Amino acid sequence: MTKLAEDMLVYEKKFWKEGWELVAGVDEVGRGPLAGPVVAACVIFPKNFFLPGVDDSKKLTKIKREKLFEQIMDNAIDVGIGIVREKTIDRVNILNASLKAMWKAVKKLKTPPQLVLIDGNQKIPNLPFPQITIVKGDSKSMSIASASIVAKVTRDKIMLNYHKKYPQFFFAENKGYSTKLHLEALKTFGPCKIHRRSFKIIQLLETNQMVFEIM
């Protein structure tokens, strides 16, 4: 069921009413995969704007996400995208990489936000704007949900391009997550350049300690 404005604009309406007109939503995707980058997006909509159909990107079909992606890009005041690659993930860990991707997404905005709504319970370090965390914000805030859609569509496109370079890992289908086919490919070929060496599965595989139990 499509969520109504009453469901998805509770936070935006509150802050718009308080005088915060440029309210941005931030979310990231790609914490869990064994390969590929973590991608974040930041979206600012005009005051009192509502885009029907927006929800947590994980709850939407690929077709619906891509359609909403175009509508978000057409209607937003500004959109910023932050990408953190595998080597940085391995160097700083996935949590810090996710926060860094969100920081980069906000900094990519050409229109500075007055307030930033962040999905989850972690604030973005060194962000020069007021910020508020919202647990499960991608299901409660249109701005955050829109950011999750932009980030998801952007990351999926990146993984489709990687699939062309590394077709043996089926990145077009699994987007880097640990599916049966992906694990089977890792067992056969070993990790490729974009696999996250800091993740336990990859570490065990590289030290020949990995025991694959593929159902």
CA nearest to 82, candidates 70, 65, 99: 99
Give the up-direction half-sphere exposure of residue 63: CA atoms within 13 A in the CB hemisphere. Answer: 0
Superfamily grouping for domain 5-162: Ribonuclease H-like superfamily/Ribonuclease H (3.30.420.10)
Structure tokens at 1: 């069921």
* pLDDT score of 19 more than 60: yes
The whole-angstrom separation of Cα 44 and Cα 116 is 9
Domain definitions of the chain by residue range: 5-162, 167-206
CA 139, 86, 44, 53 dihedral sign is: negative
Q: Which residue has the tokens 């997550």?
A: 177
Q: What is the mean pLDDT of the chain?
A: 94
Question: What was the pLDDT predicted at 213?
Answer: 43
Q: What is the mean pLDDT of residues 80-86?
A: 98
Question: What was the pLDDT predicted at 6?
Answer: 83
Question: What was the pLDDT predicted at 90?
Answer: 97
In sequence order, the 6+-apart residues with CB closer than 8 A to the CB of 119 are: 25, 26, 27, 28, 133, 134, 136, 137, 138, 141, 144, 147, 148
Structure tokens at 89: 């993930």
116 by DSSP, 3-state: which?
A: strand
Query: pTM for this structure?
Result: 0.93
- The model's pLDDT over 149-191, given as tens digits with 9 standing for 90+, comes to 999 999 999 999 999 999 999 999 999 999 999 999 998 999 9
- The model's pLDDT over 96-105, given as tens digits with 9 standing for 90+, comes to 999 999 999 9
Long-range Cβ contact pairs of 169-176 (< 8 A, separation 24 or more): 169/35, 171/35, 171/36, 175/33, 175/36, 176/30, 176/33, 176/34, 176/35, 176/36
**pLDDT level of residue 203 (50, 70, 90 thresholds):** confident
The whole-angstrom separation of Cα 147 and Cα 179 is 25
